[in-house]
A and B are shown apart, each in its own frame.
Chain A
Amino acid sequence: MHKLLRNLVRRLPLQFRVLYNQFLLRVIDLESLSIQADVPRFLGQFAGVLIMFSLAQALGLLIHPPMSPESMQSLLDSVLQRMIATTMLITGLIAVVSWDNIFPDRRDVMVLFPLPVRPRTVLFAKLAAAGAVAGLGVLVLNFPVSLAVALLIGGFARSLFVFLAYWFTLAGSAALLLASVLTVQGFTALLLPRRAFIRLSAVLQLAAFALLIAVYFLEPSLLTPAAFQAPANRLLLASSPQFWFFALFHQLIGQLPPGCAWLAGRAWAGLGIVLAGALASLLLCYLRTMRKTVEEPDLLPAARGSHWTLPFGSRLQTAILQFSVRSLLRSRQHRVALAFYLGIGAALTLLILKQDGPLIAVPHPLLPGFLFATFTMMTFAVVGLRSVYALPISLTANWVLRTTQLAPPELYIAATRRSLLLFAALPVWLASALYGLTYRPLYQVAEHLVILALLAVILADLNLIGFYKVPFTCSYLPGKSNVQVRFWAFVIVFVPLATLGAMEELRAFPHLLQTAALIAFLAAAAACLRVFNRRRFQPAVLYFEELPEEILTTLHLVTIPPPISVPSPRP
């Protein structure tokens, strides 16, 4: 098999193979990774999270208490729908994260354009690299579940057939999502002037991201044949590719109810349309995009317009906070990373708030959902911004911060703390206050807002332990921090703690003394943490990561004789 694959690969054109290898390495933005990063381990950790998710689903299918055939079918359908939705989410996230990579950047163009390489070779190599990464994600995510589904549905006789049907369905759903994103990008690039495309592309990327997260967390499962037939669900079924591919799987294994054939038809049609659309639009726009990339700079804000310089405290604080907010607003990579955290936080918040009842029915009685949701959103916002601060904007430009470091490090860290509170905590707090107006009694909402503010302060200080850096000046250290540990820490530690906190808070609200004690406890915790951090900040040294010095710069074309030394007269 390995030999066959190697022979197949060798038959591909050399230019394609060389470019594919180059682009595959760059699906991850190496500029944002630390020189000490352990990239394979980092990817392994992500794969580990996906495998754990898949294993949990597979074990849930294989090990369960005795149940009726209907219940078993319902369990199978629920897992299948979840796996299709998760596969589409993972593929979508990969497509969104590698959004810019499908088009050659200026460096690619400057290197490749003068060479005898056809634009379509570059395009196919880029597509293959993006597809390979997405394919790897899909494979890791689905392998355990595919075995379990094949065994449970096909038995020993038809297991291979069901296994293949499962993989065709999942690969199709992933291809649909990837090709949809590419089609949108391709047509946008084709129809809009380059400058407008760059601006709209940034918005589209965030919109695609928000859509993916929202659909994943908010879309319901339909688990009974009656639900598929119900007229009330027709719009949902018609507009959701998750159900199209669910129907396609059943069509492939020959178990599709007659009334659902139209859904499978949508899967086939959708796949055909977006694959053709992506290929056609990208082929048409690629050469033009390459030319335009050379002709025009990527970023050129208008020479006129508002050029605000909002003061944020001292000169140093203003410099750090303005630098932070400008980096966040103007760097696509950082916006997407922050959107990742905010998107998940917002989706979870909406999901939790939905449990409390219809969002539009006001006023609500104060329920744990509101408290838990605001805790969750605050945590995601502060932790998310702090994580984004660890992605550098330009390591090579750090020298200016080093040569102008005239204030003690604690002032720089204090500015970072202020930026966390202003840009992460304050918007969430204000949104919570605004939405809190729909709850009653209002005095309890006010009490919760005090608690939320204290939680924000605690979170900001917790996130600054050991962070002796200016935002955006140091690399993320993938592989050095354990993604799996963080993920499970969130599930196992944060969720129960936040739930418990919300319950305790709700219990304390009717009693003034208990509420006061809770607030006093949190205020004391915040003060202790602040004192602890300030003591650690005083002797700290700001850390700036630099690229390694380039030593080799001479060409040594000839053997050089030893230099003649002229004795220099001393002054």
Chain B
Amino acid sequence: MLELVRVSKHFSGIPAVDDVTFSARPGQVTGYLGPNGSGKSTTMKMITGLIELTFGQISFQGKLIQEDLIAYKRRMGYVPEEPYLYNHLSGAEYLTMVAQLRNLPVRASSERIDGLLRLLSLHDDRHASISGYSKGMRQKVLIAAALMHNPELILLDEPFSGLDVASALVLRSLIQELAARGKVVLFSSHELDTVERICSRVVILHRGKLVADDTIEHLRSLMGLPTLEGIFSQLAVERDTDSTARQIADLIHA
């Protein structure tokens, strides 16, 4: 189980994440939601160990991640929000490099890379430079790199970004399949429909603070709202969205 206890991150004194506590369990897909700037990606980076916490603690399977960060990294796969990759490498070279850095066995990793590239429809372009890849292709490379070592904890930050419909459907099923096989999956997305379909519980963040942490069913009955979109709008979105849209239209029309 992944547990965050009173986690905070301040940048130059400004709290980006403020006193956040929640947990993600094996066998479940935990949705991590929030509007832009709410601190989702910062939390993800803290969970990966990329940035340090200002306060609080994060543990995985009962052990603080900082106690043995290397052992923790072996068990974690991460798809970042932005598809930042080494553009001068080809897709196959990039995945091979990640496999080498993770010290995966040569034969097994090359078979796994080949299989992932085929299943993600990247095989034909595997030797082309990543600089020529579309956003969706880059996203697929990130997904392959995050999963190739069969991690126990999977962190997905906007994993559907840029994917076409077919690939998105595959990924949606894959996330559920991985959770069913006992992985801990923390999934951050703006696509509330997808979250509603695949997540068993959601954590909602607003302005760096936790505003909800529950199953979708329980939130629906608690708030008397039929959809996750309604719940999310109630908790984390400015209520006067129509008025804002009207004001923008008026402003550019003037």
Contacts and interface: CB of A to CB of B under 8 A. Distances in A.
Contacts of B23: 571
Contacts of A298: 131
Given A399-B50, A549-B11, A303 B80 contact: no
Contacts of B35: 554
A114 B235 CA distance: 38
Contacts of B124: 303
Interface stretch (B159-167, B171-179, B180-188, B217-225): B217-225
Given A299-B88, A307-B127, A326-B93, A406 B238 contact: no
A36 interface: no
Interface string B118-129: 000000110111
B209 A397 contact: no
A549 B51 contact: yes
A39 B222 CA distance: 57
Interface string A551-571: 111110110110111101101
Contacts of A316: 100-101, 103
A198 to B, nearest CB: 11
Contact of B98 (A404, A549, A555): A404
Which secondary structure dominates where chain A touches chain B? loop
B132 interface: yes
Contact of B211 (A304, A549, A552, A564): A564
B92 interface: yes
A501 to B, nearest CB: 39
A403 B76 contact: yes
Interface stretch (A216-224, A253-261, A317-325, A365-373): A317-325
Contact of A563 (B50, B97, B206): B206
Contacts of A564: 211, 234-235
A96 to B, nearest CB: 20
Interface string A403-444: 111110000000000000000000000000000000000000
Contact of B14 (A322, A404, A551): A551
A399 B87 contact: no
Nearest to A395: B84
B197 interface: no
B207 A563 contact: yes
A394 B87 contact: yes
Contacts, number: 155
Interface string A384-404: 000000000110110111111
A309 B211 contact: no
A300 B234 CA distance: 47
A299 B129 contact: yes
Contact of A401 (B12, B76, B101, B244): B101
- Interface residue tally of chain A, by bracket? 35 or more
B87 A561 contact: no
A315 interface: yes
Nearest to B209: A563
Nearest to A315: B100
B74 interface: yes
Contact of B210 (A318, A394, A561, A568): A568
Contacts of A201: none
Interface in B90-119: 90, 92-93, 96-104, 106
Which secondary structure dominates where chain B touches chain A? mixed
Contacts of B210: 568
A300 B128 contact: yes
Contact of A406 (B78, B103, B131): B103
A319 B129 contact: no
A568 B212 contact: yes
A569 B211 contact: no
Contacts of B213: 568
Given A303-B127, A549-B51, A554-B36, A394 B86 contact: yes
Contacts of A402: 49-50
Interface string A293-308: 0000111111111010
A405 B93 contact: no
B212 A566 contact: yes
A475 to B, nearest CB: 16
A358 B93 CA distance: 46
Given A300-B128, A309-B96, A323-B86, 16 more contacts: A299-B87, A304-B127, A319-B101, A322-B100, A396-B82, A397-B85, A400-B85, A400-B86, A402-B50, A546-B50, A552-B37, A558-B244, A563-B211, A564-B211, A564-B235, A566-B211
24 contacts: A300-B129, A301-B127, A307-B92, A307-B127, A315-B99, A315-B101, A322-B93, A322-B100, A394-B86, A400-B85, A400-B101, A403-B50, A403-B73, A403-B78, A549-B42, A549-B51, A551-B11, A551-B14, A555-B36, A557-B238, A558-B243, A566-B212, A566-B214, A568-B213
